[in-house]
A and B are shown apart, each in its own frame.
Chain A
């Protein structure tokens, strides 16, 4: 079953021979919408994560990108075992944790940590910085005296003054608070850190500082990152690979740089085109491709390819058949009947990837009668 793990990985500088730390297989997370007078029954289901398969290697950074409502946050919470999955399986370090309860997760918790988006809401305003960072250490058995030096060291590592250990969160700016959040996540020397939009709430000049810090810490502690973001501009600088999600499904998984030069899925291409380029001359030259419409309701996803109602290349087949994830060179996967930026030869050699959703059809690009 472990497909991603056994096949050769992208040679994009990521440590290719490492074993996967996180393996997600055909994972589904549905939320029931319940209604009723006495006994509630499920009247609809939100398909938040709908048959997603991928893995994250030790030491790698996987960027998980998508617009609001695409399921990226739900997926990252499911991986952290903060919410239960509906179907599929989840492995951490090879150990099946799909249905792991509190007791089984206890030893694993210290190996997976999370940094949240909002540096103002995610730190308890009544606790001193030392208590906030020291809490995970205390919970996992360090005594009071042992914690303080460790906290000071952590503060130093994330670029804060160790003397600030007795200050409260409100005495810090947004960027500094995010550093505190990072220090708290680092405290237990985790292997995996899930970064949920860690810089979205910060000013541009501070964003760059935090990104660089995360970069340094990864090298220093051999960390594995799952970096969740809502657009493609920030993830680029930290990611080895990037997965693009839309309406609960994976649209494209690619070595990071290749995604920017050679996006295969029209949705990825639309996401790239939508980012304004801070270069007026280039802007005037550039043909702007603006995707119309908005993401449909995940309670009732469209038939076939979920992106077809907004896709400029959509044809009959897109409405009828869900495209499988197709494997192109360099371990670049995309689920599209009418791929961009691939040669005829590449299409000929492409094959259905086993990580495709179960519900996807078998027809590969180029084999269908109607062309874009």
Chain B
């Protein structure tokens, strides 16, 4: 197991390297125009452009440019070309907000999806199953920006049950923190719940017909024990992969719409604003930042996978 983890971590470093090279190429080389000009905005003076060219070393060889760029990304020594604020500091400021949203939503959607999926599978073909199927389809079909705006308007603005967007630090007031996040969590989770519960349902239905489930029944176990000990764990294995990827994406600021609709000021919203302004340094940094979380969660998933399915550890 130890060797497996070490191997997986080394792989992760290699993938991160590959991603960084690709990102570098996409931002600095492939557009085939002077990167310094693109980076300095529309009405930059000749001297500004020259300063940026100097700062980023755009006159050096490509490998040297890569090193300079990555140094800046990793140390956070990047400035927005419009606000001149440090990108690193902005991301750090957004982190607790994005993490609060991601962790809460991921736990919520996983928990509810397991309940729905399992219940749906146990009642397969009955009314409850059909009802949940329809609910899931509606959940999958509703775009986040729409349902988010709707929830914000009716539940927040009109009825005043929930705050109308915004964020409160956990350290400041945990209850208010929770209160502010209920809507974002729910809205972000709805899409995933629909999707995950469908996948889990079909996995459970496959697993129920496995021989070892019949063995479990022949042992005299109760239906609940069979479901939890023998069916659920085995059905979860494919779900964990999905979950890792989605969770990683949301952690890395992927919930752009949710963050923006609820004005959470997290990494996702920061990304959205930077893209809107064609502000290259933040976009570059956030791209690497998201890639890191996706790769990291991927590695975590593989390790989790090995825990869930001992057969994988051998390979």
Residues of chain A touching chain B, judged by Cβ–Cβ distance below 8 Å, are 37-38
Contact = CB atoms under 8 A, between A and B. Distances in A.
A138 to B, nearest CB: 37
Contacts, number: 5
Nearest to B10: A37
Nearest to A36: B7
B14 interface: yes
A48 to B, nearest CB: 19
A38 B15 CA distance: 11
Interface in B1-31: 7, 10-11, 14
Contacts of A37: 7, 10-11, 14
B241 to A, nearest CB: 21
A38 B13 CA distance: 12
Contacts of B10: 37
Contacts of B7: 37
A10 to B, nearest CB: 45
Contacts of A38: 14
A37 B7 CA distance: 6
Nearest to A35: B315
A37 B11 CA distance: 7
A37 B14 CA distance: 10
Nearest to B14: A38
Question: Main SS of chain A's interface residues?
Answer: loop
Question: A-B pairs with the 5 shortest C-beta distances?
Answer: A37-B10, A37-B7, A37-B11, A38-B14, A37-B14
5 contacts: A37-B7, A37-B10, A37-B11, A37-B14, A38-B14
B5 to A, nearest CB: 13
A36 to B, nearest CB: 9
Nearest to B7: A37
A182 B315 CA distance: 38
B171 to A, nearest CB: 41
A38 B11 CA distance: 8
A38 B14 CA distance: 9
Contacts of B11: 37
A281 B260 CA distance: 85
Contacts of B14: 37-38
A306 B271 CA distance: 66
Nearest to B6: A37
B156 to A, nearest CB: 50
Nearest to A38: B14
Interface in B58-113: none
Nearest to A33: B315
A42 to B, nearest CB: 15
A102 B11 CA distance: 37
A88 to B, nearest CB: 30
A348 to B, nearest CB: 51
A103 to B, nearest CB: 36
A354 B11 CA distance: 50
Interface in B212-247: none
A244 B197 CA distance: 53
B15 to A, nearest CB: 11
B9 to A, nearest CB: 10
B246 to A, nearest CB: 27
A287 to B, nearest CB: 36
B10 to A, nearest CB: 5
B14 to A, nearest CB: 7
Nearest to B8: A37
A206 B68 CA distance: 75
A37 B13 CA distance: 11
B12 to A, nearest CB: 11
B172 to A, nearest CB: 45
A37 B10 CA distance: 8
A220 B79 CA distance: 86
A37 B8 CA distance: 8
A38 B10 CA distance: 9
B200 to A, nearest CB: 28
B206 to A, nearest CB: 18
A194 B7 CA distance: 43
A285 to B, nearest CB: 37
B278 to A, nearest CB: 37
B125 to A, nearest CB: 24
A37 B5 CA distance: 12
A37 B12 CA distance: 10
A134 B205 CA distance: 38
Interface string B157-186: 000000000000000000000000000000
A38 B7 CA distance: 10
A37 B6 CA distance: 10
Interface in B244-282: none
A38 B17 CA distance: 13
A330 B136 CA distance: 74
A38 B18 CA distance: 13
